[in-house]
C-alpha cells in the first residue's frame, strides 16, 4: 500500500500515519507484540479503521518492565546528572512543539477531538508541562532537621532527608487527552530519575508511540520510556507486575479501585486520577449571559469528555430560568462536525461504544422524568456525534445527576440559599472539581472551604495550571498530577541519621 492509498493518511500526519500496523516500543526498539494480537484504531468521525496497534500480552509487559528495570538500575540514565535530565526533557518539549502539526493531526484522527484542542492542550499544554517539569529535575530537595535524640549521652547526631527516584513507574492513561495526560505522568517520572512503562488507551495509542520515538530523538536513553499498547488486560498485567514500583493512573473510578487493589499486593505506590461529577454553582448576582457562556464552556468543551466537566449546574433561583434558557440557546447554536473543520465546536465522542453509553444515560434520564431543553439525541447517522444536551426537572436521586456521563450532557437545577447548594454540590461520591460564579467576594471565600473538591475555580472552569496540583477528594482519586506534588510523587523520602 502506498502512502496515498492509505485510507487514514492525512497530509499533516507527516508520514507516521502512512503505516497500517504499529509495534510496541520496548528498550528503544519497535517490537511486534509477542501475543501476535492487534486492536483496531478507528476514526470516530468517519468510522474508518485507520491502524492496528498491539493488544499486548503478559510476555510483552514482562519485556517492557524488564527493559525499564535495566534502564533504572544499570544504564547511562542512572549516571546522568539532574541537569542532564533537565536538558533532555527540555529537548523533548521542543520536539513535541516542532511536531505539533503531526501530533495534533494524529490526535484528531484517533480521538475525534477538535484539532484546535489537540493543538492547544495535548501539544501546546503538553510541551509546556514537559518544560515546566524539566525545571524540577534540578530542584528536588530534602531537609536538614534538628535532631532530638539524646542517647547515648555525649553522642551528637546529624539528621536529614533526601528524595530518591521511586523506580519503575507504570503510567496507564485514558483516551480523552491521550498525549497531555501521558506527559503528565511521564515528565515528572523522568524529572525524578525514574523509568517508565506507558500503557495508552486502546482507542488512542498512536501519539504515545510517536512520543516514544521523540523521546529517543531527544537523547533519552533506550529503556527509559517504554510503551506497551493494549486494553484492560494489558493494563492489569502491568499494574499487577511485581517489577513496578509506582502506578500513575488516570481513568474511571471502577478501574482505579481495581488498580488500587492490585497495587496493594506489591505495595506499589499509587497516584489515581479518577472520575468526576463536578458542580458549577452560579450565585444570584451573576450576569446571565456570562454565566450561561461559562456553563456552556464548562460542559461542552471536548464534548464533555473531560473529567472535570461542569456536568451539574446549580443556579440560584432568581436567575435560573434566564441562565438555563441562554445555556440551551448556546447549545443549540453549536456547530457539530469533524474535528479537522476549524468551524466545528462539537466533534464526535471517542467511539461507537461510548456513543451508546452516553445515549443510554439519556434514555434513562428521560425515563426518570428529566426534561430535554435541547439535544438529547444522536446528531446525524454517520460518525459518533451527540447533540449538546441540557436537561432540567432533574433531582439529586437520578442516575444522570449521580453518575459520570462523560459526554455533552448537563443537568441544571435551581437552589435557594448557599447552605442548600453546598449540600447539593457535595452530595456525590466524587470530589474532583467545582466552580463558583459570582462577583460577591465574601460569598465566594465563604463557599470555597465548604466544597469537597480537589480544585475550586472561581468565574472560570476547566482551567489547569502546571503549578497547581490536580486530583480528587473522595472517590475521585488519591495523590495529585501536575505541580511539585507530581514530581515528589515519583520519589521516596529517605531519612538519614548520622552519629557524629
Ligand X SMILES: NC(=O)c1ccc[n+]([C@@H]2O[C@H](COP(=O)([O-])OP(=O)(O)OC[C@H]3O[C@@H](n4cnc5c(N)ncnc54)[C@H](O)[C@@H]3O)[C@@H](O)[C@H]2O)c1
Ligand Y SMILES: O=S(=O)(O)c1ccc(CO)cc1
Report the alpha-carbon distance of residue 425 to residue 325 in Å, rounded.
22
Q: Which is nearer to ligand X, 262 or 286 (CB)?
A: 262
Other CB atoms within 10 A of residue 19 CB: 15
Positions 307 through 326 that interact with ligand Y (CB under 6 A): 307-308
Residues 6+ apart with CB under 8 A from 158: 144, 147, 497, 498, 500
Q: Is there a catalytic annotation at residue 273?
A: yes
Q: Where are the alpha helices (DSSP H) in 284-377?
A: 288-300, 317-332, 352-367
Shortest Cβ distance from residue 489 to ligand X (Å)?
14
Collapse the DSSP code of 484 into the 3-class scheme (helix H, G, I; strand E, B; otherwise coil) and give the result.
helix
Burial grade of 167 (CB within 10 A; 0-12, 13-18, 19 or more): buried
174 binds, among ligand X, ligand Y, none (CB under 5 to 8 A by kind): ligand X
Site track for ligand X across 351-390, x = CB under 6 A? ----------------------------------------
Site track for ligand X across 398-437, x = CB under 6 A? ------x-x-------------------------x-----
**Distances from the Cα of 389 to the Cα of 216, 304, 341, 371, 386, angstroms:** 44, 10, 22, 10, 8
Residue sitting closest to ligand Y (CB): 307
Positions 173 through 212 that interact with ligand Y (CB under 6 A): 176-177, 181
Shortest Cβ distance from residue 433 to ligand X (Å)?
9
β-bridge pairing 195-199 and 455-458: unpaired
**Is residue 271 at the binding interface for ligand Y, with CB under 6 A as the rule?**
no
Shortest Cβ distance from residue 283 to ligand X (Å)?
26
Report the alpha-carbon distance of residue 313 to residue 415 in Å, rounded.
10
**Is residue 207 at the binding interface for ligand X, with CB under 6 A as the rule?**
no
464 binds, among ligand X, ligand Y, none (CB under 5 to 8 A by kind): ligand Y
C-alpha cell at 422: 453546598
Nearest residue to 352 (alpha-carbon basis) of 37, 52, 38, 42: 42
Report the alpha-carbon distance of residue 354 to residue 112 in Å, rounded.
12
Task: Note the Cα 301 to chain centre separation in Å.
Answer: 14
Collapse the DSSP code of 282 into the 3-class scheme (helix H, G, I; strand E, B; otherwise coil) and give the result.
strand
Shortest Cβ distance from residue 16 to ligand Y (Å)?
23
Shortest Cβ distance from residue 477 to ligand X (Å)?
6
Q: Which of 86, 107, 273, 404 is catalytic?
A: 273
Span interacting with ligand X, options 46-54, 83-91, 170-178, 188-196, rule CB under 6 A:
170-178
Report the alpha-carbon distance of residue 131 to residue 364 in Å, rounded.
45
Of 54, 235, 260, 348, which one interacts with ligand X (CB under 6 A)? 235
**Is residue 223 at the binding interface for ligand X, with CB under 6 A as the rule?**
no
For 171, phi and psi rounded to 5 degrees? Answer: -110, 115
By CB under 6 A, name the binding residues for ligand Y.
121, 176-177, 181, 306-308, 462, 464
By CB under 6 A, name the binding residues for ligand X.
172-176, 199, 201-202, 231-232, 235-236, 239, 250-252, 255, 258-259, 273-276, 307, 404, 406, 432, 470, 472, 477
User: Which sequence positions are flagged as catalytic?
Assistant: 273
Amino acid at each position: 500500500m502506498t502512502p496515498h492509498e492509505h485510507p487514514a493518511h492525512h497530509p499533516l500526519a507527516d508520514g507516521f500515519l502512512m503505516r497500517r500496523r504499529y509495534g510496541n516500543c520496548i528498550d528503544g526498539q519497535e517490537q511486534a507484540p509477542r501475543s501476535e494480537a492487534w486492536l483496531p484504531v478507528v476514526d470516530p468521525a468517519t468510522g474508518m479503521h485507520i491502524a492496528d496497534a498491539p493488544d499486548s500480552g503478559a510476555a510483552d509487559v514482562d519485556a517492557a518492565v524488564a527493559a525499564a528495570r535495566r534502564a533504572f538500575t544499570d544504564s547511562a540514565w542512572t549516571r546522568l546528572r539532574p541537569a542532564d535530565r533537565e536538558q533532555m526533557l527540555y529537548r523533548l518539549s521542543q520536539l513535541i512543539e516542532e511536531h505539533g502539526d503531526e501530533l495534533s493531526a494524529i490526535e484528531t484522527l484517533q480521538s475525534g477531538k477538535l484539532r484546535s484542542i489537540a493543538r492547544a492542550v495535548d501539544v501546546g499544554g503538553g510541551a509546556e508541562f514537559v518544560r515546566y517539569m524539566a525545571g524540577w529535575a534540578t530542584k528536588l530537595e530534602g531537609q536538614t532537621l534538628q535532631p532530638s535524640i539524646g542517647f547515648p549521652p555525649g553522642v551528637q547526631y546529624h539528621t536529614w532527608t533526601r528524595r530518591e527516584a521511586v523506580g519503575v513507574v507504570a503510567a496507564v492513561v485514558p483516551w480523552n487527552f491521550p498525549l497531555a495526560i501521558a506527559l503528565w505522568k511521564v515528565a515528572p517520572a523522568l524529572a525524578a530519575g525514574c523509568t517508565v512503562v506507558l500503557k495508552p488507551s486502546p482507542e488512542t495509542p498512536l501519539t504515545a508511540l510517536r512520543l516514544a520515538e521523540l523521546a529517543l530523538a531527544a537523547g533519552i536513553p533506550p529503556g527509559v520510556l517504554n510503551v506497551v499498547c493494549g486494553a484492560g488486560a494489558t493494563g492489569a498485567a502491568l499494574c499487577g507486575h511485581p517489577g513496578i514500583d509506582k502506578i500513575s493512573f488516570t481513568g474511571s473510578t471502577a478501574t482505579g479501585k481495581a488498580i488500587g487493589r492490585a497495587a496493594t499486593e506489591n505495595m506499589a505506590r499509587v497516584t489515581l486520577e479518577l472520575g468526576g461529577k463536578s458542580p458549577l454553582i452560579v450565585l444570584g448576582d451573576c450576569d446571565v449571559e456570562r454565566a450561561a457562556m461559562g456553563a456552556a464552556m464548562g460542559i461542552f468543551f471536548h464534548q464533555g469528555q473531560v473529567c472535570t466537566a461542569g456536568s451539574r449546574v446549580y443556579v440560584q433561583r432568581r436567575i435560573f430560568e434566564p441562565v438555563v434558557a441562554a445555556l440551551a440557546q448556546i447549545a443549540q447554536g453549536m456547530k457539530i462536525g469533524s474535528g479537522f473543520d476549524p468551524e466545528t465546536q462539537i466533534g464526535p465522542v471517542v467511539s461507537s461504544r461510548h456513543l451508546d453509553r452516553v445515549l443510554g444515560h439519556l434514555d434513562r434520564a428521560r425515563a426518570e422524568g428529566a426534561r430535554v431543553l435541547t439535544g438529547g439525541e444522536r446528531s446525524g447517522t454517520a460518525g459518533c456525534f451527540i447533540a449538546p444536551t441540557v436537561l432540567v426537572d432533574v433531582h439529586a436521586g437520578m442516575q444522570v445527576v449521580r453518575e459520570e456521563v462523560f459526554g455533552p450532557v448537563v443537568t441544571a437545577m435551581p437552589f435557594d440559599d448557599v447552605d442548600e447548594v453546598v449540600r447539593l454540590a457535595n452530595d456525590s461520591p466524587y470530589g474532583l472539581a467545582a466552580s463558583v460564579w459570582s462577583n460577591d467576594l465574601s460569598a465566594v471565600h465563604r463557599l470555597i472551604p465548604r466544597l469537597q473538591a480537589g480544585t475550586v475555580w472561581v468565574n472560570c472552569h476547566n482551567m489547569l495550571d502546571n503549578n497547581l496540583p490536580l486530583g480528587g477528594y473522595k472517590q475521585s482519586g488519591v495523590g495529585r498530577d501536575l505541580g511539585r506534588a507530581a514530581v515528589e510523587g515519583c520519589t521516596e523520602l529517605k531519612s538519614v541519621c548520622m552519629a557524629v
